[in-house]
Structure 1
Amino acid sequence: MAYKLKEITVRTNNSQEGIKIISEIWGEVLSGKLPILFDSEHNFQQGISPVSKYSNYSSDEKGDYDLTIMAATTDFFEKIETLVSKGLYKKYDEKDEKGEMGACTRKAWEKVWLEQKSGDIKRAFTEDYESTVPGEYTKDGNPHCYLYISTL
């Protein structure tokens, strides 16, 4: 009988070791070793998008936090967009014209940190979400990183 995981959580941080752990877990999700996008028999799960949830912050982006990789459906994105419209989250959309997914993710987070440092946003450090979409699934053909940052 095939099974699938709804989500997986790891405690980590933004150190080099923490980023390595995040990368390894994502590799296992994308390969199907951890059956979130695929079931245990390696059948792709239609209608599922992988989303990173950052939560349980010990302090700010410099401290430990929980990273949850979860299987999100369309209704998740509808709900988070409603929270954006209410001002509870700020949405960031960064792309990379060279096609590098990692570059658009770095751009998005660097923008958040710059706005945080300048005082343009005040982060709540409750739950933040990240969805990085490969170029082949976007209208403009570029990879995009969508960040939803909880604000005060």
Structure 2
Amino acid sequence: MTYRLDKITIRLKNDEAGINKINELFEDIVSGKIPLIHDSNGKLIEGISPISEYSNYESDETGNYDLSVIAADKEFIFHLEKLADEGVFKKYIAKGADVNEAAIKAWNQVWNDDEIQRTFDKDYESTVPDFLTKDGKAHCYLYIGI
């Protein structure tokens, strides 16, 4: 019997221990140790991408929150795009040499945006590694609830 998860959630904070938990979680997902984008036999599932969902904020970005990694299909991403077009989310895009650099650049845009009124309800992040892009750079797309 094979199986796969649809979502995995951890509770953390934006500190060194929290960042280490995030890195470990993504290593386990990408390697197939956690069957989110792979099935339980280690086979990569086509058409599925890991999307991070930030929710259940204790306060703001300085407090505890839930990070859920969702096995998302293209329809989920199209839905996020539609909600961004409708003004539910503000979209931020950044490129980098690797996924960490792209994500840091995108989050810095959010943290330096003095005009945004964040809801701290739900935010989403889609990070695409450099080997999957046409320009050879990693891309990070953030959808921040406003």
* Alignment-derived partner of residue 124 in structure 1: 119
Q: What is the CA–CA distance in structure 2 between the aligned matches of 1:140 and 1:28, rounded to whole Å?
A: 27
Q: What is the CA–CA distance in structure 1 between the aligned matches of 2:20 and 2:32, rounded to whole Å?
A: 18
User: What is the CA distance between 1:131 and its match in structure 2?
Assistant: 0.7
Q: What is the CA–CA distance in structure 1 between the aligned matches of 2:131 and 2:25, rounded to whole Å?
A: 23
What are the superposed Cα offsets for residues 76-96 of structure 1, whole Å, 9 maximum, x if unpaired?
A: 011111100111101111001
* Alignment-derived partner of residue 39 in structure 1: 39
Q: What is the CA–CA distance in structure 2 between the aligned matches of 1:48 and 1:100, rounded to whole Å?
A: 20
Write out the 4+ residue segments of structure 1 that deviate beyond 4 Å after TM superposition: none
* Alignment-derived partner of residue 93 in structure 1: 93
* Alignment-derived partner of residue 107 in structure 1: 105
Q: What is the CA–CA distance in structure 2 between the aligned matches of 1:50 and 1:141, rounded to whole Å?
A: 19
Q: What is the CA–CA distance in structure 2 between the aligned matches of 1:136 and 1:146, rounded to whole Å?
A: 16
User: What is the CA distance between 1:140 and its match in structure 2?
Assistant: 1.9
* Alignment-derived partner of residue 134 in structure 2: 139
Q: What is the CA–CA distance in structure 1 between the aligned matches of 2:98 and 2:130, rounded to whole Å?
A: 9
The secondary structure found in structure 1 opposite 2:112 is helix
Equivalences for 1:58-77 in 2 at 5 Å? 58-77=58-77
User: What is the CA distance between 1:39 and its match in structure 2?
Assistant: 0.5
Q: Normalised by the size of structure 1, how large is the TM-score?
A: 0.94
Q: What is the CA–CA distance in structure 2 between the aligned matches of 1:100 and 1:23, rounded to whole Å?
A: 14
Q: What is the CA–CA distance in structure 1 between the aligned matches of 2:98 and 2:80, rounded to whole Å?
A: 25
Q: Which amino acid aligns with 1:100?
A: D
The secondary structure found in structure 2 opposite 1:17 is helix
User: What is the CA distance between 1:139 and its match in structure 2?
Assistant: 2.7
User: What is the CA distance between 1:71 and its match in structure 2?
Assistant: 0.4
Please report the RMSD computed on the Cα atoms of aligned residues, expressed in angstroms. Answer: 0.8
Structure 1 residue runs of 5 or longer lacking an equivalent are: none
Identity %: 47
Structure 2 residue runs of 5 or longer lacking an equivalent are: none
